[in-house]
Amino acid sequence: MKNNVLRYRKIRGINRRKRTIEKWGEANKVLDIDLLNQEKRDYVKFWVRPWTDLSLINSVYPEPTGELVAFLIAHLMTIYESWDEALKQLEQPYYLQAWLFEGAISRSQIVCAIEQPMDFANVFEPVEDQPNEGIKDSNHYSDQTAEVLDRYDWTLHRYIQAYDLADPWDAEYVESVARQQLLRTQTIGQIEYQIVEIDKVWLLS
């Protein structure tokens, strides 16, 4: 089992990482309307090295913290606002959402769609008891992020996935997760699934 333990690699060159995040934000700020009209949906993920690098040696980079979190959130929401303005110009209904992940912030993204409704009920479900202070209770809320996060109303959701208990790989994974992540079993069709909370995510209300 020791061979499966992940080691966390140090993030070096904070200023360089900030410049990379800034370039990512600028590169994705303009919504490609032609592509959207063709595909009916678009999204932008946090594709920034080193967090997108694959590792073959059981080591990963830790999630962004401090200044990097503030930079990520600022540019993520700048993309959101820019896309919102572009979508308004279309003068038709649209879906636009920011996914701000609580644990793995590097999974955060902006998602939009036109014409075709998007249903994420099988991916996100609202937390029954919302935090008393709302987004202020987030791990990502700080003096550096407050100005951006306080502009919006947020609701905390669970990011969930369903695992087929009859599948050996899925069953093995379910055995490995913490008990508090196991939400319920659910029969879909004739298959019994274990519903697992992977993370929590803040969505715009």
C-alpha to C-alpha distance for 143 and 148, rounded to whole angstroms: 10
Give mean pLDDT, residues 167-196. 97
* pLDDT tens, residue by residue, 82-128: 999 999 999 999 999 999 999 999 999 999 999 987 889 889 999 99
* pLDDT tens, residue by residue, 31-84: 999 999 999 999 999 988 766 654 444 456 788 889 999 999 999 999 999 999
Give mean pLDDT, residues 10-18. 74
* pLDDT tens, residue by residue, 142-154: 999 999 999 999 9
Model confidence, pTM: 0.87
- Please tell me the predicted confidence (pLDDT) of residue 118: 84
119: CB partners within 8 A, 6+ apart:
none
Alpha helices in the chain (DSSP H): 14-28, 33-39, 66-88, 146-149, 168-176
Torsion sign (Cα): 170, 172, 173, 179:
positive
SS3 (DSSP) at 171: helix
- Please tell me the predicted confidence (pLDDT) of residue 96: 97
